[in-house]
Amino acid sequence: MDERLQDILDTVQKTAVEMSSAAGELFTAAGQKASSLLSVSKLNVRAADLKAQRAALLQEVGSMVYGTHTGAVADSDTLLAKLREIDVVNQELDKIDAEIARLRQSVRVCPLCGADAKPGDAFCRHCGTHL
């Protein structure tokens, strides 16, 4: 393996634990603001945005790692910052998945006719009212 690449990978591994806890703190602060009252569809839109953001970040990280192989000067600070962003995105996606699961499992009742709604129903099965 390239020596430079090995250096970068060593640095990345050393900071992995510290980064994930920092990302967790950052996320907790942001997540508490956003949380509840978001519909499943809004959460899905947010998740799609985050996945696109993560794909772009992963592509940048891949380019940087490949750059070390072709002799580009490695900037491990920039690489670490990108990895940290990916950590935050991943944690936010986990939170969104959990929130979607929670919303889908919660038992609801139609506000108009009182019929029980099944998990995931957008409309009442009895009267068609939007839930």
Phi, psi for residue 115 in degrees, rounded to 5: -65, 150
Among 113, 118, 120, 123, binds Zn ion (CB under 5 A): 113
Give min distance, CB of 75 to Zn ion, in A.
59
Residue 126 lies near Zn ion (rule: CB under 5 A): yes
Alpha-carbon span 114 to 99, nearest angstrom: 25
| 127 counts as binding Zn ion under rule CB under 5 A | yes
For Zn ion, the binding residue among 12, 115, 121, 131 (CB under 5 A) is 115
Does 130 interact with Zn ion (rule: CB under 5 A)? Answer: no
Which of left, alpha, beta for 69 (phi over 0: left; psi -120 to 50: alpha)? alpha
Q: How far apart are CA 22 and CA 31, in angstroms?
A: 14
Binding string, residues 61-100; x marks residues near Zn ion by CB under 5 A: ----------------------------------------
Residue of 68, 64, 61, 67 whose CA lies nearest to 82: 61
Which stretches of the chain bind Zn ion, using CB under 5 A? 110, 112-113, 115, 124, 126-127, 129
